[in-house]
Amino acid sequence: MRRLPPVLLEDGCSHDLVSLIRTILAACKEISFRVSQGALSGVLGSTLDENIQGETQKKLDVLSNQLLKDILLESGYVKAIASEEEPDTVAGNPDGQYIVAFDPLDGSSNIDINSLVGTIFSIMQVPKDADANDPNIFLQKGDQQVAAGYVLYGPSTMLALTTGKGTRIFTLDKTHGSFLLTTDFVQVPKTTREFAINASNQRHWEPAMKNYIADLLAGETGPRGENFNMRWIAAMVGDVHRVLTRGGVFTYPADTKNPEKPYKLRLLYEANPMAMLVEQAGGVASTGYERIMDIEPEQIHQRVAVILGSKDEVETCLSYHA
């Protein structure tokens, strides 16, 4: 099986980009080890702190953030980072040509129940003379990402990665520490009979989403004339991995539960990298009203509605929003 570096070099990625991706993966291997040690490594449970999002930080959120932050800022390749767990961007090497936005640990409510979690990252490029302390360097459309990926800490540790030439899946060989290519050119099936949504928010959704889900739930006696299955992992990495693997629709739509927070998922380090992975695998990623990777970001922690997955089914969902 082929290792990650030669695969990326053959794709035409620069040595610097390959080294940067390997740097991220070095931190992810350490996170993978800590996650797998669970209670033995003393990392379960919460801290007493909240992050900028007003969410209680888990010990593993903080640890994963620190591992990624330290290794990236010391690498020399990175001008600055933006993280879910950091209120502001953090400057690295002023001469670095890359910036990285990341969710150090996605699905952190799953940590204490020994369920799926992962790391999501988005790599963008900036001019050499851009100011490392200027947070606006991160306000790039998803289309400008040079690479995006996630590492899923499941029964096996897997990397989904795109550098704009398709989406590939690598599996961590824990005996040698290498990510080996296990699925080349992932293709999300165009059609599906499976969807993922947190249905407890149903009464707070917009009419379009209420109607779409109602029609799916009506099954073969409803307007769709077919039965649909539902799954919800409560970690976007896990749900998106299922979508990449066997198709489906994953959505975290707008809701009115908290009027100050109509959306849950963050554009720069959740929606954009997942949108790139899904589009590069032939799927679709939208807010319901526009393509996710067309959005001009205004803030580093901005949130968006997300509907992504199998092309035909996402388009059906979008037709309810038209």
Residues that bind ligand AHG (CB under 6 A): 55, 84, 103, 106-109, 198, 234-236, 252, 264
Comparison of 303 and 321: residue with beta carbon closer to Mn ion? 303
Comparison of 106 and 313: residue with beta carbon closer to Mn ion? 106
Comparison of 99 and 120: residue with beta carbon closer to Mn ion? 120
Query: Shortest distance, CB of residue 127 to ligand AHG, whole angstroms?
Result: 30
Of 151-180, which residues contact Mn ion (CB under 5 A)?
Answer: none
Site map (CB under 5 A) of Mn ion, residues 46-85, x = contact: --------------------------------------x-
d(CA 58, CA 120): 17
CB atoms within 10 A of CB 296: 8
Comparison of 180 and 232: residue with beta carbon closer to ligand AHG? 232
| Structure-token match 């720069």, residue found | 268
Comparison of 264 and 311: residue with beta carbon closer to ligand AHG? 264
Q: Please state whether 177 falls in left (phi above 0), alpha (psi between -120 and 50) or beta.
A: left
Query: Shortest distance, CB of residue 265 to Mn ion, whole angstroms?
Result: 7
Comparison of 79 and 241: residue with beta carbon closer to ligand AHG? 241
Do the beta carbons of residue 118 and residue 270 sit within 8 Å? Answer: no
Length of the chain as a residue count:
322
d(CA 88, CA 276): 24
Comparison of 174 and 257: residue with beta carbon closer to ligand AHG? 257
Query: Shortest distance, CB of residue 199 to ligand AHG, whole angstroms?
Result: 10
| Structure-token match 């038209």, residue found | 322
Closest alpha carbon to 151 in 67, 80, 230, 70:
67
Query: CA torsion, points 140, 280, 90, 5, in degrees to nearest 10?
Result: -140
Comparison of 4 and 235: residue with beta carbon closer to ligand AHG? 235
Query: Shortest distance, CB of residue 236 to ligand AHG, whole angstroms?
Result: 4
| 239 lies in the binding site for Mn ion (CB under 5 A) | no
Do the beta carbons of residue 321 and residue 289 sit within 8 Å? Answer: yes
Contact window for Mn ion (CB under 5 A) among 41-49, 101-109, 280-288, 311-319: 101-109
Which amino acid type is present at position 189?
P
**In terms of DSSP H, where are the helices of 59-175?**
59-75
Q: In this chain, which residue has its C-beta nearest to ligand AHG?
A: 236
| The binder of Mn ion chosen from 28, 34, 60, 106 (CB under 5 A) | 106
| The binder of Mn ion chosen from 23, 103, 124, 310 (CB under 5 A) | 103
d(CA 162, CA 42): 33
Residue 55 DSSP label: P
Query: Shortest distance, CB of residue 59 to ligand AHG, whole angstroms?
Result: 13
Query: Shortest distance, CB of residue 135 to ligand AHG, whole angstroms?
Result: 20
Q: How many residues form the binding site for Mn ion (CB under 5 A)? A: 4
d(CA 122, CA 99): 8
Closest alpha carbon to 243 in 128, 156, 115, 150:
150
What count of Cα atoms within 13 Å lies in the side-chain half-sphere of residue 69? 18
Binding site for Mn ion (CB under 5 A): 84, 103, 105-106
